[in-house]
Amino acid sequence: MSGVRQWLDQTKSRGMKLGLERVHAAHNILIQSYESTIVHVAGSNGKGTVCALMATHLNRLNQTTVMFTSPHLVRLEERIRIDGVPITEKQLNSYLSRIQETESDLGIKLTFFEITFLASCLCAQEHSPDVFIIETGLGGRFDATRIVPADLCLLTSIQLEHRDILGETLAEIAAEKAAIARPNKAMLVREIQDTEARSAIEYEARHAGQEYLGELPSPASVEWIQIDSDSSMKEEAMTLAKATLNHLNFNIDSLDESMLALNWPGRMQHIEPMSWGGSLFVDAAHNPSGLKRVIPTLVDLLSSQQEWSLVFGCTPKDDLEEFVQPLLDLCKKHPPTNVLLTVPQTGRHPGVSIAKLVEFDWHCLKSVIPASNPKETRQVLEKIQPEYTLAIGSLYLIGELFEVLRLSGSKHLELFPPNTQR
């Protein structure tokens, strides 16, 4: 491991520190200007998919992009993509060296997330893409991504999440996310039924702007995007991407074709053939609403499968039973042949134990198989050789499966590679 990577790895011990003073100071030193249109996306579910879909469509329109998302599946470089392709190790190391030097000069301690985001800013400054697409990490008001001068903001669906950080109520969480609103700029918002949350979003829009970021407070304009209550995750992403791109005056006629071309790693991704000859479908549903929204797609997929196996593992949830229930309902409707329960190894918190997961009724036709980690999961899959496998759970789990199943090659990590199965 190079010296700069060792430094970055050590910053993980600094934990998560919300606040913009450190990253704003470093950004002022590192970044002179952007020549790109900047789109800033926040929300609870679907924000990464919308970002990826916009990047894919812009590529098909011969527009260049730099996209920042988090976390990554396998390699850190995935967080920063130039025209859909993760940047190289050499490129990232170069950015990290400049950030490390700046941190030392300023006498500050940046967090891991702040550093990786600043690296994306350096990438956007260096390459001057037509569009710089940025996904928030957590919240919005104090998220490091808030420091850039965005031209357009988008709020996807908002759910109760990270209540220990963002607030106890939906309105409080909505306010934190809506604080990405920029003065005198548009903020597109997925329609929300909760009246208090809606009022909180409108309040933040009316009071947009942070003086300490060099912004002159002034209202942002809110445009509510209607989404049918029975829309799938894909349909919702299409609607939000269409509204955003249309606002930026890009042609959206072939957006459905862009969705077909999109290969968003670890998110509703179909990969075949596997080493044992079967097919694999993976999705990193990380909260109850996200898992519930993906179920209709899974029902459609499994309706044509006579036999299938489930791989599941997750990180701790405020209400584990609520999170798992949609998956249990799916298994009741389409019973899996085998269920492999495993534990993600690399999350911020230890994964939910197999002992807890096995307590649920998985409606399994043959056996519920404990696999202590993704490596053991791979061994079981190669032994039972399922024709069709659904792997679902935390992004950390999916990333670990990618590694042990040797799926970390470039074609599976690019947004729109040729010949990647969807």
| Of 123-132, 223-232, 362-371, minimum mean pLDDT range | 223-232
| Of 147-151, 295-299, 352-356, minimum mean pLDDT range | 295-299
Residue 180, pLDDT > 50, answer: yes
Q: Which distant-in-sequence residues (6+ apart) come within 8 Å of 245 by Cβ? A: 54, 57, 58, 252, 255
Of 261, 283, 298, the position where a domain reaches its end is: 261
Could you tell me if 164 and 276 lie in one domain? no
| Of 173-187, 304-318, 377-391, minimum mean pLDDT range | 304-318
Is residue 418, in this structure, part of any structural domain at all? no
Dihedrals phi, psi of 152, to nearest 5 degrees = -155, 135
Residue 120, pLDDT > 90, answer: yes
Please calculate the CA angle 16-22-27 and round it to the nearest 5 degrees.
Answer: 115
Number of structural domains the chain divides into: 2
Average pLDDT over residues 278-305: 84
Of 230, 261, 292, the position where a domain reaches its end is: 261
Reading the block at residue 330, the tokens are 């799916």
Q: For residue 280, give Cα distances in angstroms to 20, 48, 85, 310, 391.
A: 41, 21, 22, 10, 7
Q: Give the structural domain span for 346.
A: 269-413
Reading the block at residue 178, the tokens are 């809506």
Could you tell me if 341 and 371 lie in one domain? yes
Task: List the CATH number of the domain containing 293.
Answer: 3.90.190.20
Amino acid 299: pLDDT? 87
Task: List the CATH number of the domain containing 56.
Answer: 3.40.1190.10
Q: With bands split at pLDDT 50, 70 and 90, how would you rate the model's confidence at 410?
A: low
Average pLDDT over residues 280-307: 83
Amino acid 166: pLDDT? 65
Could you tell me if 377 and 311 lie in one domain? yes
Mean pLDDT taken over the chain = 91
Q: With bands split at pLDDT 50, 70 and 90, how would you rate the model's confidence at 164?
A: low
Residue 167, pLDDT > 70, answer: no
Could you tell me if 277 and 211 lie in one domain? no
Could you tell me if 284 and 247 lie in one domain? no
The pLDDT tens digits of the residues spanning 253-279 come to 999 999 999 988 888 888 888 999 999
Average pLDDT over residues 77-101: 96
Average pLDDT over residues 347-353: 85
* DSSP characters over 53-115: HHHHHHHHTT--EEEE-SS-SS-GGGGEEETTEEPPHHHHHHHHHHHHHHHHHHT----HHHH
Could you tell me if 151 and 230 lie in one domain? yes
Is residue 421, in this structure, part of any structural domain at all? no
Is residue 358, in this structure, part of any structural domain at all? yes
Reading the block at residue 201, the tokens are 């979003």
The pLDDT tens digits of the residues spanning 213-222 come to 999 999 999 9
Could you tell me if 62 and 184 lie in one domain? yes
Amino acid 1: pLDDT? 61
Q: With bands split at pLDDT 50, 70 and 90, how would you rate the model's confidence at 162?
A: low
Amino acid 230: pLDDT? 78
Q: With bands split at pLDDT 50, 70 and 90, how would you rate the model's confidence at 422?
A: very low
The pLDDT tens digits of the residues spanning 17-76 come to 878 999 999 999 999 999 999 999 999 888 999 999 999 999 999 999 999 999 898 899
Of 202, 229, 261, the position where a domain reaches its end is: 261
Amino acid 421: pLDDT? 40
Amino acid 121: pLDDT? 98
Average pLDDT over residues 207-218: 94
Could you tell me if 226 and 321 lie in one domain? no
Of the candidates 281, 259, 404, 277, the one whose C-alpha atom is nearest the C-alpha of residue 334 is 281
Q: With bands split at pLDDT 50, 70 and 90, how would you rate the model's confidence at 16?
A: confident
Could you tell me if 250 and 307 lie in one domain? no
Could you tell me if 403 and 311 lie in one domain? yes
The pLDDT tens digits of the residues spanning 380-405 come to 999 999 999 999 988 899 999 999 99
Is residue 328, in this structure, part of any structural domain at all? yes
Could you tell me if 351 and 251 lie in one domain? no
Could you tell me if 250 and 278 lie in one domain? no
Is residue 225, in this structure, part of any structural domain at all? yes
Pick the more confident residue, 323 or 118. Answer: 118
Of the candidates 328, 272, 326, 334, the one whose C-alpha atom is nearest the C-alpha of residue 308 is 334
The CA radius of gyration of the chain, in Å to the nearest whole number, is 21
Residue 280, pLDDT > 90, answer: yes
Q: With bands split at pLDDT 50, 70 and 90, how would you rate the model's confidence at 420?
A: very low
